[in-house]
Amino acid sequence: MSRVAVIGAGSVGSTIAFALLIQRISSEILMVDIVQETAKGQVSDLSDANFIASNHVRVGTFEEAGQSDIIIITAGAKQKPNETRLDLIDRNYKILDNVIGSMKPINPNAILLLVSNPVDILTHIAQKLSGLPKNQVFGSGTFLDSARLRRKLSSILGVSENAIHCYSLGEHGDSQIIAWNSASVGGKPLLEFPEIAILDKELIAKEISNKANEIIKLKGATFFGIAGCVSLVVQSIIFNQRHIRPLSTYIEEYGCVFSMPVVLGRNGIEKVIDIDLNQEEKDKLKQSSKILREICAKYT
């Protein structure tokens, strides 16, 4: 038995609910939105797909959300074309503060999963505002960027995405890095594949970090990819699968919240993997952590 609450019933929240529903991941899904009609409309629409599974989808209150097993926060403003995720902080900080305040007292065993942007900074703030242990409060981070990267590499190498171990790490935003040096395919270092050796790595990194912007220019929002990623995160928690995913969590070495590969299980983040990074990758992450720390300092 598991109850998942989705706060924010817009494009991302409703697509996450749909992904959870059709994959039969949780037994109950609550939709919560500041605009009651939006939550009501999404529940009514989602319930039309209920014949696929037997989950229960209904409108929930903030108090009920606070007592759920997993709370997914998608409430907030989204980027307009050419806005960065960091540009959303003022608007989304206020919304997050309201949402967490309205859910209190929060179930001490709940997992709080941040999806709203800027996800790293909001995760850091949510760790403080919620009072929950840090391993229970984390963000979707660069899971989506890493999925985009693996898709790209899969098309170049002609192997399944599942066989590619390569991560985008750091900020879910412009300063993220690709951990090329630790990447492997079928036990062989990724950089030893001739197709990869000749690639313009900077160009690939830019293409991956800019993909959301390209989609936003075309259709105004992104929601399918993130819904796929979040549904796997929820599945990993509910079924204690201990998958390794790049998620946004507090990283002691860098003194900030951003993405590193973590082991994900019933208690949330069970362990951060100490991935091998070369000096250039570490330097870029240090630079990125400085930007995130400075912004966080204004809000915490």
Ligand X SMILES: NC(=O)c1ccc[n+]([C@@H]2O[C@H](COP(=O)([O-])OP(=O)(O)OC[C@H]3O[C@@H](n4cnc5c(N)ncnc54)[C@H](O)[C@@H]3O)[C@@H](O)[C@H]2O)c1
**Annotated binding site for NAD(+): which residue ranges?**
8-13, 33, 92, 115-117
Tell me which stretch binds ligand X (CB under 6 A): 5-13, 103-111, 231-239, 260-268. 5-13
Q: Tokens at residue 284, please? A: 């870029």
Binder among 21, 86, 110, 119 for ligand X (CB under 6 A): 119
Minimum Å gap between C-beta 203 and ligand X is 22
**249 contacts 126 by C-beta, under 8 angstroms:** no
Residues 214-243 that bind ligand X (CB under 6 A): 221-223, 226
- How far apart are the C-alpha atoms of 64 and 244, rounded to whole Å? 30
* Residue 13 or 261 having the CB closest to ligand X: 13
Binder among 5, 6, 9, 86 for ligand X (CB under 6 A): 9
Minimum Å gap between C-beta 269 and ligand X is 16
- How far apart are the C-alpha atoms of 46 and 298, rounded to whole Å? 39
Paired residues of 56 in beta bridges: 28
Binder among 38, 68, 175, 182 for ligand X (CB under 6 A): 38
Spatial CB neighbours of 55, under 8 Å, sequence gap ≥ 6: 20, 21, 24, 26, 27, 28, 29
Minimum Å gap between C-beta 2 and ligand X is 21
Binder among 65, 95, 113, 137 for ligand X (CB under 6 A): 95
* Residue 68 or 196 having the CB closest to ligand X: 68
* Residue 15 or 289 having the CB closest to ligand X: 15
Could you say which DSSP state residue 107 is in? Answer: P
Query: Active site includes 165?
Result: no
**297 contacts 125 by C-beta, under 8 angstroms:** no
Binding mask 161-180 for ligand X (x = CB under 6 A): -----------x--------
Question: If we measure between CA atoms, which residue out of 234, 259, 236, 239 comes closest to residue 112?
Answer: 234
DSSP string, 52-98: GS--EEEE--HHHHHTSSEEEE--S--PPTT--GGGGHHHHHHHHHH
* Residue 5 or 285 having the CB closest to ligand X: 5
Minimum Å gap between C-beta 278 and ligand X is 26
Q: Which one from 56, 124, 165, 172 is the annotated catalytic residue?
A: 172
**248 contacts 139 by C-beta, under 8 angstroms:** yes
Binder among 2, 27, 34, 263 for ligand X (CB under 6 A): 34
- How far apart are the C-alpha atoms of 108 and 66, rounded to whole Å? 9
- How far apart are the C-alpha atoms of 95 and 177, rounded to whole Å? 29
Binder among 116, 135, 231, 288 for ligand X (CB under 6 A): 116
- How far apart are the C-alpha atoms of 71 and 42, rounded to whole Å? 17
Q: Tokens at residue 295, please? A: 């912004």
Binder among 140, 176, 209, 249 for ligand X (CB under 6 A): 140
Minimum Å gap between C-beta 257 and ligand X is 13
- How far apart are the C-alpha atoms of 75 and 95, rounded to whole Å? 7
Rule CB under 6 A: which residues touch ligand X? 7-13, 33-35, 38, 74-79, 88, 92, 95, 98-99, 115-117, 119, 140, 144, 172, 221-223, 226
